[in-house]
Amino acid sequence: MSPYLDVESALRPRLPSPVWEVRDGRFARRGVRLLLKRDDLIHPDLPGNKWRKLAPNLRAAAAAGRRTLLTFGGAYSNHLRATAAAGRLLGFATIGVVRGDELAGRPLNPSLAQCAADGMRLVFVSRGTYRRKAEPAVLAELLDAAAPGEECFVIPEGGSNAAAAAGCLSLGRELRGVADVVAVACGTGGTLAGLAAGLAGAGSAIGFPVLRGGFLADEVESLQRAAFGSRCGDWRLDERFHCGGYAKRSAGLDAFTDDFAARHGLPLDRVYVAKALYGLTTLAEESAFPRGTTLAAVITGHGDTAP
């Protein structure tokens, strides 16, 4: 077996991830329990859904004999950072295609600087090209320019493909019999797709999209169809908590996040995790859950990644 294939032995993830119960009056008053599923503790460089989504792709890349990973992201992408780290740890070369050619001549922000320090080659493309990156002709041109003559293993934006959704099955399985309702922040929807399938009806999942647009239900369904053959599990989206869109914040979200850190000693990632917990707490305060319900919020990433 190629050394790269044994991703678990090489990276030693902490699995299953721990579950912490927190005491919070906003939940206790409604007779519901709140658990935090600490996926952020799985691995320091591949936290949370990054591990669950990347591990199957890394195995597939190694099995296909590919030495170079190519993937996509915005200037603050957690996925780009995790892919760069995985490349460093496992010996893959990595190429990150970054949205926004206006960034090319500027100093790298800390997130992209970390990617570069981990050996990732950054390729900046215009927003127009980036939007069309999945079109075969555009992708072929990008590959040709970024890695001429090289057979790259291409991982989509956010790391979400069928393999990634299947990698998130384990998240749902770890929560079966532990929680009745599981909350997760959604970007591309891959984590929710696998989580809901892994719960397999033993609990329901609520996804809180962090982007505006109302397109995500279709994405989650198509990821589930690609990974599992059909829509599966009991899941829904609550679109009220994106706070204006990706990486946008509201005074309410900031106040919630600061208060949560003060109450529980846990700083939340403001781009994703805080929006899910803000949504879940609001639902609890709206008495959306019957007394006796156990809720779990998935802490999908570290709390220091705000742009």
Give residues in contact with ligand PLP (CB under 6 A): 48-49, 78-79, 158, 160, 185-192, 269, 272-273, 300-301
Distance CA 140, CA 104 (A): 21
Q: What whole-number distance in Å separates Cα of residue 212 and Cα of residue 268?
A: 20
Query: Token match 């005491």: residue?
Result: 23
Q: Report in angstroms the alpha-carbon separations of 27 from 150, 206, 279.
A: 53, 17, 13
Paired tokens of 55: 């591990």
Least gap, CB of 267 to ligand PLP (angstroms): 13
CB closer to ligand PLP out of 14 and 106: 14
Distance between CA atoms of 12 and 90, rounded to whole angstroms?
12
Compute CA distances 23 → 32, 149, 264, whole Å: 10, 56, 8
What is the Cα–Cα distance from 148 to 241, expressed in whole angstroms? 43
Q: CB of 277: closest distance to ligand PLP in angstroms?
A: 11
| Residue among 5, 4, 18 nearest 47 (CA) | 18
Q: Which two tokens stand for residue 130?
A: 């980036």
Q: What is the torsional sign of CA 229, 54, 103, 119?
A: negative
**Which CB atom, from 91 or from 267, has the smaller least distance to ligand PLP?**
267
Name the residue nearer to ligand PLP (CB basis): 35 or 192. 192
Position of minimal CB gap to ligand PLP: 301
For residue 284, the minimal CB distance to ligand PLP (Å) is 20
Provide the minimum distance between the beta carbon of 116 and ligand PLP in the complex, in angstroms, as a whole number.
19
3-state secondary structure of 206: strand
Minimum distance from CB of 185 to ligand PLP (Å)? 4
Sign (positive or negative) of CA dihedral 225, 228, 232, 237:
negative
Residue 45 or 141 having the CB closest to ligand PLP: 45
Judged by CB, which is closer to ligand PLP: 5, or 226?
Answer: 226
Nearer to ligand PLP, 172 or 301 (CB): 301
Closest to ligand PLP by CB, 73 or 87: 73
Nearer to ligand PLP, 48 or 56 (CB): 48
Q: Which two tokens stand for residue 232?
A: 């599966």
Least spacing, CB of residue 215 vs ligand PLP, in Å = 12
- Shortest distance, position 134 Cβ to ligand PLP, whole Å: 15
User: In the bound complex, what is the minimum distance in angstroms from residue 49's beta carbon to ligand PLP?
Assistant: 5
89 touches 10 (CB < 8 A)? yes
Q: Give the number of C-alpha atoms closer than 13 A to the C-alpha of residue 192, restricted to the C-beta side.
A: 30
